[in-house]
Chain A
Amino acid sequence: MSDNFVSLQKLSLAYGQTLVVPHLDLDIRKGELIALLGPSGCGKTTTMRAIAGLMAPQSGHILIDAQDVTRIPANKRGIGLVFQSYALFPHLSAFENVAFGLRLKKLTNSDITKRVDRWLETVGLAHLAKRKPDDMSGGQQQRLALARSLVLEPKVLLLDEPLSNLDARLRLDMRLELQRVQLETGITMVFVTHDQAEALALANRIVLMKDGKIEQLGAPDELYNAPQTRFAADFLGFQNIFEVEDQTIVGKGNALPLSFQTKARYLAWRPGAVTLEKGKYEGKIKSVSFAGEQREFVIEAPIGQIKATTPAANLPRQIGEIIRFDLPSEGVCELRE
């Protein structure tokens, strides 16, 4: 058996006449934590709903564990989904929320109690078993939703923007929590996010999506260090992205000759890759800001704005001064459209 646990084949998804995902091929391995990353509206939730069976594809197939589930209804697929809004049942206590799926399976009461208690324990909600979801904090609701899905031991757990409704501190806690649960259960997880930092931190692999298509797929460091396209670079935080024509960088109607050879359509540098105080280009400092360990510069150059950083101790330069800089071949990313 191949290690493709979930397989999306030529999947196309539409709402009525609106084609959202035109043609998607994706293989997800058993036990991996994979992220669907992309801007809002690119079709991440739609893809996830299709995997779960809440939406029928227009064409294509979905395979889970070597079985074609395309025509199998959502309640028979054995897939867990944690909704972005959590979708907890407000009329039931935390305990009963988690017990919901088990009761449908007609397990004995003592068996249900044992399993629910164990999961409430695991997500740290044992002391709130009697509480209703509306009386819980965002983080607690999130963990309850997680327990409610995991108690059924689904083959795949889908999480739609699991961290987006939490504040920054909780987000970090929940990241660790998700990683821990994934490690302990070995469950295959697919999570959706529009936050590149979240995807980079959590996922084994990242699927970068744009307009319902896969823009790039790879391990976090691959995406971070070697984005393939202009969109990928932009989305992954490269701030200096320029078009190249005939060995010159063009922008704002101006051109700067490049100091190295390239065949790429676009070039991109992270702020840290830009050299300051030496080099053959010149620009005017538009802003300087101190950000802890480093100092961030915005330089107004003929081809547009350049963002650069240096260690904080260096370069006590003022706004308005002219500064030399270079866009070197080290640290450059070559991109296509």
Chain B
Amino acid sequence: MNIKFASRLIISLTLTFLIGPFLIIILAGLSAGDFMTFPPDGMSLKWYIKVFTVESFRESFWLSMLLAVFGTICALILGIPAAYAISRYDLPYSETIKTIVAAPIIVPGIIVGLALLRYLVVPLNFTVTLALFMAHTALVLPYAVRVVSSSLNNLRGDMEEAAVLLGCGRVGAFMRIVLPNIRSGVLAAFILGFVTSFNQVPVSLFLSGPGVRTLPIDMLGYMEITYDPSVAALSALLAFLSVAIVFVAEKFLGFSRYV
């Protein structure tokens, strides 16, 4: 009886701490007052509506979106062949390669951002947007390699050989046999990468210039000046967007069946 009670308590607490803040944010955004408070000061949708009228939010949202989508795609384009090579061939330095690939998540983001600013943007005149794009690609790459690797390791190598004996070239076998069978891993890597990139703060902190700011940085900046509930409303909207993306992906591409 006591064990049952204890386990219920633990589950309830876990849920409270996971979902609680989310609910608080949603409610704080619904406030009718001018400051972010909880419990909310009356009820209205005005802050949710205001989010869409703030010019800088709109710009930074699209920047973040493009960074997340193309950075992740780029990371996958680099990461899938890398993962394939690591899992299929006996490379002499495969452990070292894995470590180097994982470096961007091991090194603190602030340092990555600072390094890019100090050694690419300032001396080489890279645009901030390009530096951001490179940073986000590099950040997502480790996830791409890891997740795709684990799918590849579950895939038997002899299927590719079978395809070759049926007349495929090596590249054809990869496209026709390997890719369709690691689809779920690629999709999982994409979602993970997208979310990582979209919510990225420390790296992007140094990489912002006039008119070029990612959404999280923009929100941070906005909050320093105005402490109204629109940031809470925006956060809630972003959370809904993430849930929707995962839901749609799961619905149409059915990855949860495999992962």
Contact = CB atoms under 8 A, between A and B. Distances in A.
A87 B166 contact: no
A89 interface: yes
B169 A89 contact: no
B164 A54 contact: yes
Interface in A131-150: 148-149
Interface residues of A, number: 22
A53 B161 CA distance: 10
A36 to B, nearest CB: 18
Contacts of A308: none
B162 A87 contact: yes
Interface in B160-183: 161-169, 172, 176-177, 180-181
A90 B151 CA distance: 14
Given A75-B167, A75-B169, A104-B172, A91 B180 contact: yes
Interface stretch (A76-84, A206-214, A265-273, A320-328): A76-84
B156 interface: yes
B159 interface: yes
Contacts of B177: 89
B158 interface: yes
A74 B180 contact: no
A104 B166 CA distance: 8
B166 A148 contact: yes
A235 to B, nearest CB: 27
A243 to B, nearest CB: 43
A281 interface: no
A83 B158 contact: yes
A104 B161 contact: no
Contacts of A81: 161-162, 165
7 contacts: A54-B165, A85-B158, A87-B158, A87-B161, A101-B167, A149-B165, A149-B166
In order of increasing CB-CB distance, the 5 nearest A-B pairs are A101-B166, A87-B162, A87-B158, A104-B167, A91-B180
Given A54-B164, A87-B162, A89-B181, 4 more contacts: A53-B165, A81-B161, A83-B158, A87-B158
Interface of B: 156, 158-159, 161-169, 172, 176-177, 180-181
